[in-house]
Structure 1
Amino acid sequence: MHELGIAQSIVEAVLDAVDGPRITRLELQIGKLSGVVADALRFCFDLVTEGTALQGARLDIVEVPGRGDCRACGASFELEDLIVLCACGSADVQIGSGQELRIAAVDVE
């Protein structure tokens, strides 16, 4: 479960960047194509925040849809998974979004 390592890295990054007594909310943007399982990340987040300024913080996860642009025909379309194939039959697709894992907002007390 790589979500544990991801949760630890997120917590470390937030604690390094934010000098506050208590963090009440953290918002993450997670791309649909990132391979991160949101429920597993929530579970791990609760474990790794114990005893830190993030303990008890609300974790809001915003899913970023996958988008692709076909280099063959120029079509832009939504991607559901990493099996990338345009309706025109081309696999020459540039992934534009959906692979993100970003800390979008942090609320402090």
Structure 2
Amino acid sequence: MADLPSDRICPGDPPFTNTGGDCFGHFFVKQGRSRVKRWGAIFTCLIVQAIPLEVLSSMDQYSFVNAVRRFTARRGAVKKIWSDNGTNLVAADRELKEALQHF
């Protein structure tokens, strides 16, 4: 068996310091009398086995950025988020990097 990556072994770091993120769905939610389409964002802690979920209103980069903001507001600062190269995730990464440069 190979050694674990260094991001998975962080003895002094709090949970969700290194996180995996992905989007899934769609599923239908009842809103009033109509049914609307919603998606989900899953964040997986790479240190402990904890999985919070966030609801996305659409599959664009802005919804994912808002999900990341809600996630970090609840769970604390994140050093690194690992994900696949989905188009909305790559666009959200680019937008977050630009926001950090302006900050």
TM-score scaled by length of structure 1: 0.27
TM-score scaled by length of structure 2: 0.28
Rg comparison, structure with higher value: 1
With CA pairs under 8 Å and 6+ residues apart, which has the higher RCO, 1 or 2? Answer: 1
| The structure with more helix, counted as a fraction of residues | 2
